[in-house]
């Protein structure tokens, strides 16, 4: 697969996952803020911005409407929902022949709807409509990619982008909401704390799954354990790291197959690349840790290490599959006259 195509599929998936995640946490923050005092609501907005790694201008630090517009509707902000949708659609257009018609229809329809809307009016009167449409499109797009695409390299790069983005997002959420556990793990929760924790779970599409496993009792350590260590829930960090590892392994097998076809059948099997070594270490650390060990290390340190690992995987994948130098020995079949020529 051409590196340009792989890059576009990867970023298309990342941007759409980011847009869906931002829409989800914004939607929940608007709902939660209705039951909070102004001070608590503003603290919630600042936590949300921290988790999205976005900063408000100094003069707008206490303006919740400014926060909503910045991460939701501002076309000049690369972190906003509308900018992420535009970037996802741009990348989808570059690889139109690689994705199914149904997938293109979903993302293009959302982009056209946003383009035809007065975003200032929408942000004021009915911001929830944007959040609902974006979340619905993100879910439909993922379902369509799973049901209408062959499990080839293109699908794997989409899976990789989605899983890396999801692991980064959940890591940032946990760091923003539960950093206090490192200093005061026995602090008595307030009613507003319970509202915030329920919003965190819903923002991660995890509330019902959490309640089925832990009942409706919201305990911060159980929430951390579920979103960080659960091996079966699709939005947990451990699950995402496993997807990243499995996807990289599949890509390495395919790359090894290409080398064997163009060289000789006596070549070695797939080699473990730098990216899989990075994610493998992070996955092993979580797989063989329990909550007590995580809290001893420090939750903030652990989740930020996960995010750093995901960023390192991103750059390693870029070096290995996107920005790699052309190996002409792979493109040119060996022959009796050329086999002895050093590459």
pLDDT of residue 254: 84
Q: Which residue's structure tokens are 């000049």? A: 76
| pLDDT of 141 above 90 | yes
Q: What is the mean pLDDT of residues 121-143?
A: 96
pLDDT of residue 336: 35
Query: Phi-psi bin for 49: left (phi > 0), alpha (psi -120 to 50), beta?
Result: alpha
Judge contact between 74 and 83, C-beta under 8 A.
yes
Under 8 Å CB-to-CB from 303, ≥6 apart: which residues? 171, 172, 174, 175, 228, 237
Q: What is the mean pLDDT of residues 262-272?
A: 50
Q: What is the mean pLDDT of residues 143-153?
A: 94
pLDDT, tens digit (0-9, with 9 covering 90-100), for 78-102: 999 999 999 999 999 999 999 999 9
Domain coordinates in residue numbering, the chain: 1-149, 151-326
Spatial distance between the Cα atoms of 50 and 172, rounded to a whole number of angstroms:
8
The model's pTM? 0.87
Q: What is the mean pLDDT of residues 31-58?
A: 85
Lowest mean pLDDT across 48-62, 216-230, 244-258: 48-62
Q: What is the mean pLDDT of residues 95-122?
A: 96
Find, among 59, 31, 37, 223, the residue nearest to 48 by Cα: 31
Between 338 and 220, residue with greater pLDDT: 220
pLDDT of residue 199: 85
Spatial distance between the Cα atoms of 235 and 166, rounded to a whole number of angstroms:
7
Q: Which residue's structure tokens are 């960090």? A: 237
pLDDT of residue 226: 95
**Percent of the chain whose predicted confidence (pLDDT) is above 70:** 87
pLDDT, tens digit (0-9, with 9 covering 90-100), for 272-282: 789 999 999 99
| pLDDT of 271 above 70 | no
**pLDDT-based confidence at 60, cuts 50/70/90?**
low
Q: How far apart, in Å, are the Cα atoms of 65 and each of 30, 61, 83, 117? A: 10, 10, 18, 19
Compute the mean pLDDT over every residue in the chain, rounded to the nearest whole number.
Answer: 86
| Per-residue three-class SS string for the chain | CCHHHHHHHHHHHHHHHHHHHHHHHHHHHHHHHCCCCHHHHHHHHHHHHHHCCCCCCHHHCCCHHHHHHHHHCCCCCCCCHHHHHHHHHHHHHHCCCCCCHHHHHHHHHHHHHHHHCCHHHHHHHCHHHHHHHHHHHHHHHHHHHHHHCCCCHHHHHHHHHHHHHHHHHHHHHHHHHHHHHHCCCCCCCCHHHHHHHHHHHHHCCCHHHHHHHHCCCCCHHHHHHHHHHCCCCCCCHHHHHHHHHHHHHHHHHHHHHHHHHHCCCCCCCCCCCHHHHHHHHHHHHHHCCCHHHHHHHCHHHHHHHHHHHHHHHHHHHHHHHHCCCCCHHHHCCCCCCCCCCCC
| pLDDT of 324 above 90 | no
């Amino acid at each position: 697969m051409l590196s340009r195509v792989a890059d576009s599929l990867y970023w298309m998936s990342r941007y759409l996952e980011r847009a869906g995640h931002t829409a989800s946490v914004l939607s929940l923050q608007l709902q939660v803020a209705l039951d909070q005092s102004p001070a608590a609501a503003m603290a919630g907005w600042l936590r949300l911005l921290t988790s999205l790694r976005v900063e408000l201008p100094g003069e707008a630090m206490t303006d919740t409407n400014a926060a909503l517009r910045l991460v939701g509707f501002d076309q000049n902000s690369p972190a906003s929902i509308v900018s992420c949708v535009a970037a996802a659609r741009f990348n989808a257009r570059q690889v139109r022949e690689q994705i199914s018609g149904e997938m293109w229809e979903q993302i293009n329809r959302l982009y056209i709807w946003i383009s035809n809307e007065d975003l200032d009016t929408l942000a004021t009167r009915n911001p929830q409509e944007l959040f609902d449409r974006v979340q619905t499109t993100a879910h439909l797009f993922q379902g369509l990619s799973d049901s209408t695409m062959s499990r080839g390299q293109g699908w794997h790069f989409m899976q990789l982008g989605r899983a890396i983005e999801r692991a980064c997002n959940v890591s940032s959420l946990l760091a923003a909401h539960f950093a206090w556990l490192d200093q005061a793990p026995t602090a008595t929760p307030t009613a507003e704390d319970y509202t915030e924790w329920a919003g965190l779970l819903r923002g991660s599409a995890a509330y019902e799954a959490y309640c089925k496993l832990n009942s409706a009792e919201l305990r911060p350590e159980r929430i951390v354990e579920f979103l960080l260590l659960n091996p079966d829930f699709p939005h947990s960090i451990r699950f995402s790291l496993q997807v990243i590892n499995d996807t990289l392994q599949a890509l390495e097998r395919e790359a090894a197959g290409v080398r064997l076809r163009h060289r000789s059948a006596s070549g070695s099997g797939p080699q473990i690349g730098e990216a899989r070594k990075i994610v493998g270490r992070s996955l092993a650390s979580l797989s063989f840790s329990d909550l007590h060990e995580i809290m001893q290390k420090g939750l903030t340190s652990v989740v930020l290490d996960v995010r750093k690992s995901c960023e390192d995987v991103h750059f390693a994948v870029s070096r290995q599959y996107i920005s790699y130098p052309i190996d002409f020995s792979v493109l040119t079949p060996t022959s009796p006259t050329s086999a002895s020529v050093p590459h």
